[in-house]
Structure 1
Amino acid sequence: MTTDTRIEDWDNYSAGLRERGKELSALHPELMKGFGALSRGASTTKHLDAKTREMIALAVAVTTRCEGCIDAHARKARAAGATKEEVAEALGVAIALNAGAALTYSLHVLDALDGAGG
């Protein structure tokens, strides 16, 4: 049996996140104020344009496996004028980076084997 974990309705998913975010904000307002300040600070740049920031955000969203981030930054990337082709190239960087991380950690396994009475 396979489970389909695709998000079929991104608008509904986004609305649900916003509702839960309001709940967390009521429970811990200082946390959400801090997150908002961090987000505003990261989006206030002098050298990167909005499209570049969103391309970076999408690549990071993929590497951290954050669906909410994918939702938010795909919308922002589209609004900033990013094309599917540009996003695909940014995602290629994310894919390669994840492969590189797996390779690096594979080398740690070899080190652990050597250090484990090898």
Structure 2
Amino acid sequence: MSAIKDWDAYNAAARAQGKELTALHPELVKGFGALSRGAATTQHLDAKTRELIALAVAITTRCDGCIDAHVRKAKTAGASKAEIAEALGVAIALNAGAAFTYALHALDAAEETAG
């Protein structure tokens, strides 16, 4: 299967731009780092589970940087490609569920609005 994106090049470019943002707004990046460290400090979830959840969320928020980071972290934590695929399945189902729910909102709006 051919690659959709050169993830190693993407990662390198994102890291370079991250350094620029750090220089321009160090307190912002410091706060983001503290938030990330706080989320990674769990007592009940192991690292692999946490990263698979993060990956599923990354899919639903359509964040390439998050996908890159959490695929790498999930693999480091021992996640297999099959486990990653199952987490992606959860994300796909939730996106479909959200679309279904918002379709109901649209039907409601069509019923309730003038025009």
TM-score past 0.5 threshold: yes
Shorter-chain-normalised TM-score: which range?
over 0.9
Provide the TM-score with structure 1 as the length reference: 0.92
What residue in structure 2 maps to residue 109 of structure 1?
A: 106
Q: Following TM superposition, by how much is the alpha carbon of 1:11 offset from its aligned partner in structure 2, in angstroms?
A: 1.1
* Percent of pairs with identical residues: 74
Distance 1:20 1:12 in 2: 12
Distance 1:32 1:101 in 2: 31
Q: Following TM superposition, by how much is the alpha carbon of 1:116 offset from its aligned partner in structure 2, in angstroms?
A: 1.3
Structure 2 matches for 1:4-83, cutoff 5 A?
A: 6-7=4-5, 9-83=6-80
Q: Following TM superposition, by how much is the alpha carbon of 1:115 offset from its aligned partner in structure 2, in angstroms?
A: 1.0
2:113 is aligned with what amino acid?
A
Distance 1:15 1:106 in 2: 39
1:34-78, Cα deviation, whole Å (9 max, x unpaired): 000000000000000000011001101100111111111111111
2:18 is aligned with what amino acid?
G
Distance 1:71 1:104 in 2: 29
Distance 2:24 2:80 in 1: 38
Q: Which runs of 5+ in 1 are unaligned?
A: 1-5
Q: How many residues align?
A: 112
Distance 1:29 1:41 in 2: 18
Distance 1:12 1:105 in 2: 36
Provide the TM-score with structure 2 as the length reference: 0.94
Distance 2:26 2:95 in 1: 34
1:96 is aligned with what amino acid?
A
